[in-house]
Structure 1
Amino acid sequence: MAELLKVEKLRAGYGEAVVLHDVSLTLDEGATLALLGRNGTGKTTLINTLAGATRQHGGSIALGGVALHQLASHERAAVGIGWVPQERNIFKSLTVHENLTAVARPGKWNPDGVYAMFPRLAERKTNLGTQLSGGEQQMLAVGRALVLNPRLLLLDEPLEGLAPIIVEELLRAIRRITREEGLSAIIVEQHPQAILAISDRAVVLDRGMVAHAGTAQELREQPERLDRLLGVAR
């Protein structure tokens, strides 16, 4: 597979505070990366930096050969970044359908495709964002990223705080998007085994640096090693 994303010696943070220190990683076209680590280790900062929402102090980011670090966040969306932040950031004063059509770009993913994957949204397409449950808002946030027809989907804790039945529905959707549709993705998640099961690669961050990089299968099959990397006591 061809290389899609290349991050080299990335240093980034907020204002003068540097959170990420010399982070390097790669991701192939069509592959999924599980981004793991304890709270406060820099996972969200890395996702936000890829999307253009932090201050970059050094290093480079390339998506398909395009230098992302030289682009503003809206320009990164135009060249292939689809971002679902922790806050979801849907347009709460717009309807579900308006949320999807307002940002849609030409490509295989359109509002009808999102409705087919998330029937709950089809039933609520005339509801405002404020009238949706947390799980429905998360589905809408994922759908809104998809209709941008990105080359790389960034998901920051997509399962956080959701009911188990919604978690299962979202996991099925993410598995379809990545495994069946072949969309590259980086997923930050506090439930490592759930995400490792649908990922190709895994990176563990610690104190803003890469503490481990390898296959997802490797960590999935070595739970004690995974626990040590995540600082989890059995």
Structure 2
Amino acid sequence: MPELLRIESLSAGYGEAVVLHDVSLALGEGQTLALLGRNGTGKTTLMNTIAGATRQHAGTITLGGVALHKLAPHQRAAAGIGWVPQERNIFRSLTVHENLTAVARAGKWTPDGVYAMFPRLAERKTNLGTQLSGGEQQMLAVGRALVVNPKLLLLDEPLEGLAPIIVEELLAAIRRITREEGLSAIIVEQHPQAVLAISDEAVVLDRGTVVHASSAQALSAQPEVLERLLGVSR
């Protein structure tokens, strides 16, 4: 399949502090990548760097032939990056519907499409962001990234701190977005079994470097590697 994202020899961080060291990876169109690692290994920094929110010291990031590393964050969004950061960053003083329509771009994903996938949001379309539960805010953050109609969706710990029933609902939505709708995605998650089950490829970071890269299926089938690299059992 055609290549969508290529990262080569990437070093980045915050100010003079370098967090990522010589990171390289690639992702094909329509593929999902599980980005794994213990806390503090650079996963969020890599997501932030793709989105343009860190200082890049070396290397290149290319999305569909476009040199992202030369672009400002808003230009990266226009080039096809849909970003759901850990902080969600919804507009809390706007309604659900205003959150979606404020950033929507022409394409396959519309506010109505988001409401169809997340009926809870349809029921709360006139509610302010401050009136939503944590799970509803996360659904809105995902929906807002979708209506930008990106080529690549970045999901940074989308299941963190959510009730089990909401986790299942979001996982089903992410599976639909990636598997049925064919949108490429990179997912950072602390529960590797959940994200590996809906991913094609897997990369593990440690101390800001890639220490493992394989298919998601291969990593899921190696409990000893999961234990060694992530401290979890199968």
TM-score, normalization by structure 1: 0.99
The alpha-carbon distance between structure 1 residues 197 and 97, as it changes in their structure 2 partners (threshold 3 A), is: same
Question: Does the 8 Å contact 2:226/2:233 carry over to 1?
Answer: no
Alignment of 1:101-180 (within 5 A): 101-180=101-180
Q: Which residue number in structure 2 is paired with residue 76 of structure 1?
A: 76
Q: Which residue number in structure 2 is paired with residue 49 of structure 1?
A: 49
Offset, 1:231:
3.4
SS at match of 2:217: helix
SS at match of 2:99: helix
- Tell me the distance in 2 between the aligned counterparts of 1:115 and 1:59: 39
Offset, 1:24:
0.1
- Is 1:204 the counterpart of 2:204? The answer is yes
> Which residues of structure 1 form unaligned runs of 5+?
none
- Tell me the distance in 1 between the aligned counterparts of 2:8 and 2:128: 41
> Which residues of structure 2 form unaligned runs of 5+?
none
Counterpart residue type for residue 32 of structure 2: T
Number of residue pairs aligned between Structure 1 and Structure 2: 234
Percent of pairs with identical residues:
85
Q: Which residue number in structure 2 is paired with residue 100 of structure 1?
A: 100
Offset, 1:223:
1.6
Question: Does the 8 Å contact 2:34/2:187 carry over to 1?
Answer: yes
- Tell me the distance in 1 between the aligned counterparts of 2:40 and 2:32: 22
Q: C-alpha offsets along residues 176-215 of structure 1, whole Å, 9 cap, x if unaligned?
A: 0000000000000000000000000000000000000010
- Tell me the distance in 2 between the aligned counterparts of 1:205 and 1:5: 18
SS at match of 2:160: coil
Counterpart residue type for residue 86 of structure 1: Q
- Tell me the distance in 2 between the aligned counterparts of 1:178 and 1:226: 24
- Tell me the distance in 1 between the aligned counterparts of 2:231 and 2:117: 36
Structure 1: 4+ residue segments shifted above 6 A: none
- Tell me the distance in 1 between the aligned counterparts of 2:232 and 2:15: 31
- Is 1:5 the counterpart of 2:5? The answer is yes
TM-score, normalization by structure 2: 0.99
The alpha-carbon distance between structure 1 residues 76 and 183, as it changes in their structure 2 partners (threshold 3 A), is: same
- Tell me the distance in 2 between the aligned counterparts of 1:6 and 1:197: 23
Q: Which residue number in structure 1 is paired with residue 23 of structure 2?
A: 23
Q: C-alpha offsets along residues 145-185 of structure 1, whole Å, 9 cap, x if unaligned?
A: 00000000000000000000000000000000000000000
